[in-house]
Structure 1
């Protein structure tokens, strides 16, 4: 057999290292398409001149372009037969990705746990994205619920990794040369700096975007994500194509510009959950909560730890979970991350 049906739960082994195909050279084309798909307009990723004033040689590609590119490489080996992508932890952006860089991915299986129904299990992997010099540009852990090929196949010994609840502020990696002492808020379009935000503050980002089938399909193909549930409507009993969770992440991040325009770079991913599925026709809105603040070693640069929540139609303001601690059905995404901002 020359075709590949993808891996099932029983095909993974603890400690296995998976080198993913296919390396991809990224360019300004990815940036243009990213900005066309999402209302993304953070200045550091939009303007070479603005980036140079902040100590960088040019505008790096959006941080989530790096994430989607690295993630997309892993799908044929990790989540082609996934039922759901369950969560993220211990994510760090280690180097900016520039136009012309070639990115590849590799993953290590760090946990396996069969579900009680015997028809699926959860696979935990630590993924790294590497550039053409072999330097790591991104790393993160994610866990995925994957179907079993044979429900009668024996369950492996359950191993669930002990993951940090958040990336410590002193473990954040700062881009070389980053300097916000000449940062121009007029060019950004919003005056609020690091000192203007308080822990516990919540921000309603006001705007919304209705998800269309066509743009979701374009985005998922752009990142070379081949997961069947995003393309093949026969993969779900309801006959719907599931919107790629990363599409929701990028929509929510772009919507957060209104209120967090100066949160320029994502540098760490503490935790994340795709709380409920998103489908074409849903209107996505977002709100944020400031969870923590930290100074950094870079001139004029502070870090904000933010909870970014994406919701769909009918969500009450700032509503997240019910009394039992379960996500409300209108909540699509709960993402905890660190971002850099001028002091």
Structure 2
């Protein structure tokens, strides 16, 4: 072990390329696994168990290489090795490698399952709200860690920073070659984080103002406070119960300014909701811009807090009623 300190620390470019290579192999393994499961069990089954499939592929990839103390394919590609800064630059112990595998796979899966749990939302709404916002804080912490990495060159991954895992390189340092600097990327990330902070503060102030208006409306009308659009309660726009509201033909949709009967059949064929496969009624848009029936997307969002088309996070409080599409 006395010779280990003679190896230079891995350069930023090596660490970045290794991480990109690992992400590519994990993505490729997941895609191939999904293709096999889709052909055997069907698309509906795969959609239901997509989170478990992603967890399985990560466990297989990181478990096989890290569990045995080997390099990942990305680390092998760039000739770097992990070492523990908490254990005198020794190779990571079995305990640290196990912690790395667990923290790289299970937390995101557990949070996603809890956030989509209707029972948790009903019994413990405050806990459910905290769990739904926790991934946002984790993403911000990961971006802060990445900005520090670009500025200082250590700990590309937040999990490895917590476990004290760094990389050494087998390539000798050349004193005549200056390694590339990524400081500019760190500064840009810092600017982006500052912008997100300002946007969050503005959104919080707007939500506080809307809640105040909702309370005034509740006190004045004697009803429970809710969400408002242009100082009008959302219930005035779409007073629907997704669980009990029966399906209705598009011709009977009263919440649209369109004359559906005058729309050509070829155009109406493109107005289908991708969830119920019927022509949209009580149309609404998600934050990512996809259109669904109000009943369909609310029922979906109660089970899974993500857009069924692009998998972007879905917030039912931010659905936008649409009257002219």
Structure 1 or 2: more strand by fraction: 1
TM-score scaled by structure 1? 0.23
Q: Which has the larger radius of gyration?
A: 2
Q: Which structure exhibits the higher relative contact order, with contacts defined as CA atoms closer than 8 Å and separated by 6 or more residues?
A: 1
TM-score scaled by structure 2? 0.24
Structure 1 or 2: more helix by fraction: 2
